[in-house]
Structure 1
Amino acid sequence: MTLAADQTSPPSTAERRPLRWRTLIGWLIIAALVIGVAFIALRVSASAPGRHGGLDPEGRNDAGALALAEILRDQGIEVIVTRSRTDARAAIDEHTTLVMANPYTLSDDGLTALMEPADHVVFLSTGSRLLSLLRIGEDAPGTSPAVAAECALPEFARVGAIRPDRLFTPADGVAACFGDATGAAVLVDDRRGGRHVVVEGSKLFSNAYLAEDGNAALALALLGQTDRVVWYVPTFGDSDIEGQSEDTLGSLTPDWLTPAILLLLLAGVAAAVWRGRRFGPLVAETLPVTVRASETMHGRARLTAKAADSAHAAETLRDGAQRRLARRLGLAAHAGVDDVADAASDRLRIPRGTLQALLAGPLPTDDAALIELARRLSDLETAVEATTHTTRDDG
């Protein structure tokens, strides 16, 4: 047994001082790293969601829509990207298409005010609230394989087949394209003099999927009908939805409390490093009492006999015999009953079923059956041991 003992001869003051300084500097470096990682994590978590999220015309990732914006510019269409409702509304005129993803950051009044001056509005993704506000239709169950336009609108005549991820059931008077009246991928509403188009294009128009099927042609058919495109990107920074945050423990406590708690924690860590006990090397110490293995074995045997648990005792005997047989037969220590029975059967030239019943058969229920099982296991081990010696002598 090993115990930790204090150093008998403490180092001198000159030797301890550099050690303490190195330890203190090491802890200061660790603390600085922890604070830096925490600061970066707070900055990342506090950043406004959706800055370059799905279908963002400046997003270069797979979910962005920079490729679509560049295709429109190559076609001579002016693309104005804005993240402000005020700037987007000011840029809209009669030759402009207003484009946006699902405006989940705007209230109904805010979205209505934004769309008011626009004659042509295209929603590249949508939600149930938007469908209800526009009264353009509702969600349809199921999905659809590759489907062509199959509607009378001429701008979709040259668009190939697409694979929509979401279908809509159109309202009365709303044209349904790329599907039918029970489920279509594109809804076109011309009932109010202007045109409102709804499509779920989170995958169709993203950078990763724009080149597949007729996705790019569909995007040009939707956004290429005017000379200018005002692409509004909804962000929480431009939201008009006012929310009231509930009081939390942090808002109810003074501002100096959190820095004070952190300072106390750092002071506690520094004090623990400064005044903590240093242990010396491990030393060996002789145990005062030695317990023989035979005594342990006899003790466990007496406990088993007192409990009259023949089945548990038999299972213990079998496990020990199986391990010893596996070692004598040259098998792995974790060999199973089947492997041991097969090897012993080949070695002793006796039926495998007899050994299988002995090593894995029903457990005895009384002392007489237990004694018989122990005797048979002992005979088996003796026979295997004898063949092992015979094999060695012959070799």
Structure 2
Amino acid sequence: MTATTPVGAATPAVPRPSRRRAVVAWVVIGAVLLVVGGVGGWLTGLYQWSQRDALDPDSAGPAGTRALVHILRDQGIELTVTDDRAAALRALSSGAATLALPDAPALSDGAVAELADAAADVVLLDPRTRTLGLLLGDTALAGEGDDTVASPACSLAEATRSGGVVPGAVFTPDADAAACYPSGQGYALIVHDDRGHRIAALDARAIIANDVLAEDGNAALGLNLLGRHDTVVWYVPSAADTDLVDTSPSLGELTPPWVSPVIVLLLAAGAAAAVWRGRRFGPLVAERLPVTVRASETTEGRARLYERSRDALHAADQLRSAAADRLAAMLGLGPAASASEISDAASAVSGWDPRAVRGILIDEVPRTDAELVALDERLRHLEQAVRTVVRTGTGPERNAE
């Protein structure tokens, strides 16, 4: 039976991609990018906030020092918290005072030294290599302590009254400094006293922060070091309070003057090439076929090609493949069934000789058109025999043909 398409019927249009679906996809991609960017900014903000919170005298968080500030004020000590260097200098000039100085990377060496010289005592709360070398000579960082309670092991009165502490970062002192709390490869407290001008260094995050202040002798040590005078000036470093001048040349100053025009020219050339060679991506255009083609014409045309090429074996393979598919469907075999399995099943159902069935479906090689026609006839007879048994449910025929 030949399937035909009615003459004059409209050819089904090629479905166009939905623009709404494309727009929704781009909207979803944009939303995902915004969410990822927002989460990244939020995490960055959390990290920056934790950095600002460290050793902040106004912070009640774990890394802040608000608890020690309250203790100092309860002891009658006047405490000034400022993030302005000029205000800190004015407060220090009013009399003998202690300067609480965290690491201040935004200040120059001269500004740090000026603050230290204006104070009677200086407590370096979280010193780095630059500050240590600037104010304490050959004192240097020596890694971390042993994470166990260390005794003072020195003659410094403030340390002996405080008792043991668990050090964080430790230091190696110079020859003129007193060193307390040995741990690891260094000491947790370094004190240099130059004719009444005292400079002390300790890892304040491990000793006087809110979350560790109540442990061991931490609170006593912080109070003894910062409370030697009636006035404490706590300087809070900030990027806004800086005296550093950026003298490094910009990228434009480092490049020759002809680089910028060349870059602009290359960008313009790239844009022109993109417009010239770029493709316009839009919806597909549905093309109506000019004629209606009968379904049988494709089969007939392919048969004529096989006839012209005298390729009987190829034509036989096509006939066998189609017959095997139909036999597999009739016998209830799956699409993955092999030719041997189909041959055995067809032989068992039809009652034909297995060798004859295998020759029809697999082994026989037609050389001429006559042999090809004969093979086609035997294939149809085999299909008819299997179909009859399957439909009627009768026993297999005993026929080798």
Sort the TM-score into its range (normalised by shorter chain): 0.5 to 0.7
Deviations 1:219-240 (Å, cap 9, x if unpaired)? 1111111222111112222233
SS of residue in 2 equivalent to 1:236: coil
Q: Distance in 1 between matches of 2:144 and 2:21?
A: 66
**Which amino acid in the other structure matches residue 129 of structure 2?**
S
SS at match of 2:70: helix
Change over 3 Å in CA distance of 1:105–1:49 after alignment to 2: farther
Amino acid at match of 2:79: V
Map of 1:135 onto structure 2: 136
> How far does residue 55 in structure 1 lie from its aligned partner after superposition?
1.0
1:284 aligns with none
CA distance in 2, matches of 1:47, 1:105: 21
Distance 1:227 1:175 in 2: 24
Under a length normalisation based on structure 1, what TM-score does the superposition of the two structures give?
Answer: 0.53
Matched, 1:79 2:83: no
Partner of 1:69: 69
Cα drift, residue 164 of structure 1: 0.8
Q: Deviations over 1:308-343 (max 9, x none)?
A: xxxxxxxxxxxxxxxxxxxxxxxxxxxxxxxxxxxx
Counterpart in 2 of 1:293? 337
Q: Quick check: 1:48–1:236 contact (8 Å CA) kept in 2?
A: no
| Consecutive unaligned residues in structure 2, runs of 5 or more | 1-11, 253-258, 265-280, 285-317, 326-334, 343-401
> How many residues of Structure 1 are paired with residues of Structure 2 in the alignment?
265
Point out where structure 1 has 5 or more consecutive residues left out of the alignment.
1-7, 12-18, 258-273, 278-287, 299-395
Q: Which residue of 1 aligns with 2:176?
A: 173
Contact 2:129–2:140, Cα closer than 8 Å, also in 1: yes
- CA 1:154–1:25 in 2, change beyond 3 Å: closer, same or farther? same
Cα shift at 1:54: 1.7
Task: State the one-letter code of the partner of 1:247.
Answer: L
Relative distance call for 1:241 and 1:96 in structure 2 (3 A) is same
What secondary structure sits across from 1:161 in the alignment?
A: coil
Return the alpha-carbon distance in structure 2 between the equivalents of residues 227 and 89 of structure 1.
Answer: 16
Name 1:343's counterpart in structure 2.
none
Return the index of the structure with the highest Cα Rg. Answer: 2
The secondary structure found in structure 2 opposite 1:81 is strand
AA aligned opposite 1:294: S
Pick closer, same or farther for the CA change 1:138–1:28 going to 2, 3 Å.
closer
State the alpha-carbon separation in 2 of the partners of residues 64 and 296 from structure 1. Answer: 82
- Matched to 2:231, the amino acid is R
Distance 1:89 1:292, change over 3 A: same
**Could you tell me which amino acid in structure 1 is paired with residue 80 of structure 2?**
I
DSSP 3-state at the match of 2:251 = coil
1:346 is matched with none
How many Å separate the matches in 1 of 2:162 and 2:340? 85
Question: What secondary structure does 2:232 align onto?
Answer: strand
Q: Which residue identity does 2:200 align to in structure 1? A: V
After the TM superposition, which residues 252-291 of structure 1 pair with which residues of structure 2 at under 5 Å, given as runs?
A: none
Cα deviation for residue 41 of structure 1 reads: 6.0
Once the two structures are superposed, the pairs formed by residues 1-395 of structure 1 within 5 Å of their partners are 38=37, 49=48, 52-92=52-92, 93-136=94-137, 137-140=139-142, 143-144=145-146, 145-179=148-182, 183-243=186-246, 244=248, 246-247=250-251, 292-295=336-339
Residue type at the aligned position of 1:64: G
Change (3 A) 1:45 1:188: same
Q: Separation in 2 of the partners of 1:215 and 1:57?
A: 16
Query: How far apart are residue 45 of structure 1 and its match?
Result: 5.7
Per-residue deviation, residues 101-154 of structure 1 (Å, max 9, x unmatched) = 122222211211222211111011111222211234223466343122232232
For 2:68 and 2:25, how far apart are their aligned partners in 1?
52
Distance (whole Å) between structure 1 residues aligned to residue 56 and residue 91 of structure 2: 18
Alignment-derived partner of residue 4 in structure 2: none
Query: Structure 1 residues 29, 71: CA separation in 2 closer, same or farther (over 3 Å shift)?
Result: farther
Cα distance between partner residues in 1 of 2:121 and 2:39: 42
Q: Tell me how far apart the structure 2 counterparts of residues 84 and 297 of structure 1 sit (CA, whole Å).
A: 92
SS of the residue corresponding to residue 203 of structure 1 reads helix
AA aligned opposite 2:224: A
Q: Is the 8 A contact 1:52 1:64 kept in 2?
A: no
Q: Partners in 1 of 2:141 and 2:90 — Cα distance?
A: 32
Q: How many angstroms apart in 2 are the aligned matches of 1:72 and 1:83?
A: 19
Distance change in 2, residues 1:155/1:33 (3 Å): same
What's the CA shift for 1:28? 6.6
Identity of aligned residues (%): 34
